[in-house]
Amino acid sequence: MNVEIVTIGNEVLSGRTVDTNFAYLARALEATSVEVLWHSTVGDSAERIAEGLGRALERADAVVMTGGLGPTPDDVTRKAVATLLGRPLGLDEQVLAAIRERGKKSGRKLPATVETMALIPRGAEVWMNPVGAAPGIVITHRDKPVILLPGVPQEMEALTEEYLVPFLRERTGRTVESFTLRTYGAFESQLHERIGSLPDQWPGASFAYLPSYFGVDLRVTVAGNSAPGVRESVLRAYNELMAKVRNVVYAEGGIGMEEVVGSCLRERSWRVATAESCTGGLLAKRLTDTPGSSAWFERGFVTYANAAKLEQLDVDEATLNAQGAVSAAVAEQMAAGARAHANVEVGIGITGVAGPDGGSENKPVGTVFIALVTPLGTVSRVHRFLGTRATIRERAAQTALDMLRRHLLELPVDPSLD
């Protein structure tokens, strides 16, 4: 089965809103062995929506449209689709009751316009929205399903997970399994050199490198008509891939580096404090984004100015003057100061030049020193990150987390494929 995804909204076409809905849907459909062969975006115009749907129906086996199902005047998707497909709109009492109940629970009096979200094309199937008001709508037109989903990301995602994925999986009649290995410390080209043509040997598998400044995710998806055959291919792919890249794998699935670090700290019953200069608190944010982090995160120091390093972390002024704020010695003293003042087992220090100015011949933009002080010892490393100011800061925080993860697991702090 192949699909076209049509996203609707003037805000997407203007560039003011990034089309994250398409990215989510494409990934979700890939997991059901459905090929997304086309993607189009149209504005909030009944004429444009109808034109986009008509074109999609000519070339795709199914169409998924997202956006334009709300109660405002520019939400014209259901009317445009109903008109094109010859399915008059009618009031669905179940949907209307759900909308009214939702308003009652929120303690708000809903305007009459919200009831337009209960208008459903004749003969359509309704998917009740578990986190919002506008339902998903499925219309079968000449044996081709046309699926309408809200444009609000959390509502679209909830309906996709609960209804769309099972719906399409049942129609394809195929078994699909996938896994993702999350790596850090090796470039995409290095991973490709190590992995080579190995994925070609996995029956029914597709393989993807997904790079970002958080690392490179390796995703394997296996599809087939035989569930045992798919399972066998998945296990083979997993074992053979891990044998090649195990040293740089930090997690599987969607688990983030900060979650892994939190688990490592929890296992040792240790707490951590951060001391940051160039990252400006980003590392502390990453750590506290993790639910339950209060069990192992104590506090963070953002000591951007030299005076702050002296006053809050007891960095030695002579060292600061002799070696500069961007140095291994200062990073180590920042980590030690955070550890001592917070009375915790783990201190992390980050100091560097994020740019775009401030670099020198010896310490160019992107130079970052990261240090750890723990009961296992003191470790510091210098890194050279490329990219924008934002990218350098993100990579510095991710590298600090990976250094800490490796240190807590008593692995070599420097990642390697060897």
- Dump pLDDT digits (tens) for 256-309: 999 999 999 999 999 999 999 999 999 999 999 999 999 999 999 999 999 999
Residue 173 has pLDDT above 90, yes or no: no
How much is the pLDDT for 300? 98
Give every strand in the sheet of 297-302, ordered side by side. 297-302, 272-276, 346-352, 367-374, 377-384
Strand-pair category, 297-302 with 272-276: parallel
**pLDDT grade, residue 167 (50/70/90)?**
very high
Residue 176 has pLDDT above 90, yes or no: no
Domain 175-252 and domain 257-408 have a common topology: no
Of 64-68, 170-174, 344-348, the range with the lowest mean pLDDT is: 170-174
Residue 324 has pLDDT above 90, yes or no: yes
Q: What is the DSSP letter of 162?
A: I
What's the whole-number mean pLDDT along residues 346-374?
97
CA pair distance 276, 295, nearest whole angstrom: 21
Residue 335 has pLDDT above 90, yes or no: yes
Which CATH code for domain 175-252?
3.30.70.2860
**pLDDT grade, residue 82 (50/70/90)?**
very high
How much is the pLDDT for 311? 98
pLDDT tens-digit map of 5-42: 999 999 999 999 999 999 999 989 987 888 899 999 99
What's the whole-number mean pLDDT along residues 137-151?
97
Write the CA distances from 255 to 214, 262, 318, 404, 417, integer angstroms: 12, 11, 42, 16, 21
What's the whole-number mean pLDDT along residues 384-404?
96
Question: Quick one: tokens of 400?
Answer: 């600090």
How much is the pLDDT for 111? 80
**pLDDT grade, residue 110 (50/70/90)?**
confident
Residue 229 has pLDDT above 80, yes or no: yes
**pLDDT grade, residue 372 (50/70/90)?**
very high
Phi then psi dihedrals of residue 170, to 5 deg = -65, -40
What's the whole-number mean pLDDT along residues 197-220?
94
Residue 396 has pLDDT above 90, yes or no: yes
Residue 100 has pLDDT above 80, yes or no: yes
Residue 109 has pLDDT above 80, yes or no: no
CA pair distance 207, 48, nearest whole angstrom: 36
**pLDDT grade, residue 112 (50/70/90)?**
confident
**pLDDT grade, residue 1 (50/70/90)?**
confident
Which CATH code for domain 2-172?
3.40.980.10
CA pair distance 343, 273, nearest whole angstrom: 9
Question: Quick one: tokens of 272?
Answer: 């951590």
How much is the pLDDT for 172? 86
How much is the pLDDT for 114? 85
Q: What is the DSSP letter of 70?
A: S
What's the whole-number mean pLDDT along residues 344-372?
97
How much is the pLDDT for 409? 97
**pLDDT grade, residue 74 (50/70/90)?**
confident
* % residues pLDDT > 90 (the chain): 87
pLDDT tens-digit map of 297-315: 999 999 999 999 999 999 9
Higher-pLDDT residue of 366, 170 = 366
What's the whole-number mean pLDDT along residues 220-242?
95
How much is the pLDDT for 53? 98
Q: What is the mean pLDDT of the chain?
A: 95
Residue 102 has pLDDT above 90, yes or no: no
Strand, coil or helix: 71: coil
Which CATH code for domain 257-408?
3.90.950.20
Q: Tell whether the torsion through CA atoms of 63, 67, 71 and 72 is positive or negative.
A: negative
How much is the pLDDT for 317? 97
What's the whole-number mean pLDDT along residues 321-349?
98
How much is the pLDDT for 263? 98
Domain boundaries in the chain?
A: 2-172, 175-252, 257-408
Strand, coil or helix: 33: coil
Residue 154 has pLDDT above 80, yes or no: yes
Q: Where are the beta strands (DSSP E) in 337-376?
A: 346-352, 367-374
Of 196-200, 223-227, 320-324, the range with the lowest mean pLDDT is: 223-227
Q: CA dihedral defined by 46, 52, 54, 55, rounded to 10 degrees?
A: 160
Q: Give me the amino acid identity at 233.
A: S
